[in-house]
Amino acid sequence: MARRKLAGLRVLVTGASQGIGRALVVEAARRGCRVLAAARSQELLDQLAAEVRAGGGTVETVAADVTSPDDRQKMADAARRHFGGLDVLVNNAGIGATGHFMDSDPEVLRRIFETNFFGLAETTRVFLPVLKQGTTPAIVNVSSVVGKRALPARSLYSSSKFAVAGFSEAIRAELAKDGIDVIVVSPGLTKTNFSQNMLEQKAKLQLDHMRGMTSEEVAAATLRALEKGKLDVTLTLQGKLLLLVNRFFPWFVDWKAKKTVRRLFADEIAERKKAGA
């Protein structure tokens, strides 16, 4: 677990064109990092680069999809070409969906895992040889509060983030011999357009993301964790409270979740009871 100075570090951020990823690029560049921004949209990357450079920051871009083996290699090649290597890999790219598991399309679950888990894991694999040569190297995996406590109607997204947590814990020990830190940041509700970009939105109860942290606040907290060498960070008061209650009273969180689902589906439950009478 290393404390590190951010200025001068070579940082790659995936999913950099919007939301938390974009805010991370802007803030990291403002703090003196040399940033490689990766995302699927070159147009949005160009807009981001213009903003960062106008503020005096150093940024390069690479249009890449983390689910593509060729694009993952393209990111590694770009890091070597532009900066001679990499010190920090921020695995931020992610997609989501809401709705009950029984109503979901199997293909949606696979697409979520392809980006949120397999894309993250295989991007990490490609960059390990590069990071081993880096300065105070680190991998930052952007997860979620629901990757620590699952909630109903978020089973697909939550399961992918639980996988990220398990993967991160395992490689954290494995990479200790190489001096590579593995940091997990778990945001709660965040004011981004993440919900608008979901593959499916079938949840009866929608969470109000506008009550959450801003992308800039999440970015600042992430860089603070990187700077101070914190390995596991949970964000938002609501997220911390949920995990605190779940730690000591998991039965209560289960009871509350079940009660909420029964209330939302009261009519369906009543119809089923009537049909069985």
Expressed in percent and rounded to 5, the helix, strand and coil fractions of the chain are: 55, 15, 30
Q: Are 35 and 28 contacting, i.e. CB atoms less than 8 angstroms apart?
A: yes
- Read off the pLDDT of residues 127-156 as tens digits, 9 standing for 90 and up: 999 999 999 999 999 999 999 999 998 999
In a shared domain, residues 173 and 276: no
Active-site annotation holds for 157: yes
Confidence (pTM)? 0.91
pLDDT at res. 1: 66
Confirm whether 27 is domain-assigned.
yes
Distance from C-alpha of 265 to C-alpha of 22, rounded to nearest angstrom? 38
Q: Are 163 and 115 contacting, i.e. CB atoms less than 8 angstroms apart?
A: no
Residue numbers in the chain where pLDDT is lower than 70: 1, 192-211, 269, 276-277
> Residue 195: exposed, middle, or buried by beta-carbon count in 10 A (0-12, 13-18, 19+)?
middle
Question: What is the torsion angle, in degrees rounded to the nearest 10, for the CA atoms of residue 250, residue 251, residue 254 and residue 257?
Answer: -100
In a shared domain, residues 68 and 192: yes
Confirm whether 3 is domain-assigned.
no
In a shared domain, residues 56 and 151: yes
Laid out side by side, the sheet with 181-186 consists of 58-63, 34-39, 10-13, 88-91, 138-142, 181-186, 232-234
pLDDT at res. 195: 58
In a shared domain, residues 68 and 188: yes
Q: Are 181 and 1 contacting, i.e. CB atoms less than 8 angstroms apart?
A: yes
In a shared domain, residues 274 and 159: no
pLDDT at res. 264: 80
Confirm whether 87 is domain-assigned.
yes
Distance from C-alpha of 19 to C-alpha of 191, rounded to nearest angstrom? 8
Which residue in 113, 157, 162, 194 is the catalytic one?
157
Q: What is the residue range of 266's domain?
A: 249-277
In a shared domain, residues 136 and 271: no
In a shared domain, residues 171 and 232: yes
In a shared domain, residues 144 and 253: no
pLDDT at res. 142: 97
pLDDT at res. 81: 98
Distance from C-alpha of 89 to C-alpha of 128, rounded to nearest angstrom? 9
Distance from C-alpha of 198 to C-alpha of 94, rounded to nearest angstrom? 10
Residue 276: which region, alpha, beta or left (left: phi > 0; alpha: psi -120 to 50)?
alpha
Confirm whether 2 is domain-assigned.
no
Start-to-end Cα distance in the chain = 62
Confirm whether 170 is domain-assigned.
yes
Give the Cβ contact number of residue 250 at 10 Å. 11
CATH of the domain at 100: 3.40.50.720
Confirm whether 64 is domain-assigned.
yes
- Please tell me what DSSP assigns to residue 201: B
Enclosing H/E stretch for 218: helix 215-228
In a shared domain, residues 172 and 272: no
Cβ within 8 Å of residue 226, ≥6 positions away: 4, 6, 88, 138, 140, 183
pLDDT at res. 266: 75
In a shared domain, residues 56 and 86: yes
pLDDT at res. 185: 97
pLDDT at res. 48: 98
Confirm whether 5 is domain-assigned.
no
| Domain total in the chain | 2
In a shared domain, residues 21 and 153: yes
Confirm whether 1 is domain-assigned.
no
In a shared domain, residues 107 and 165: yes
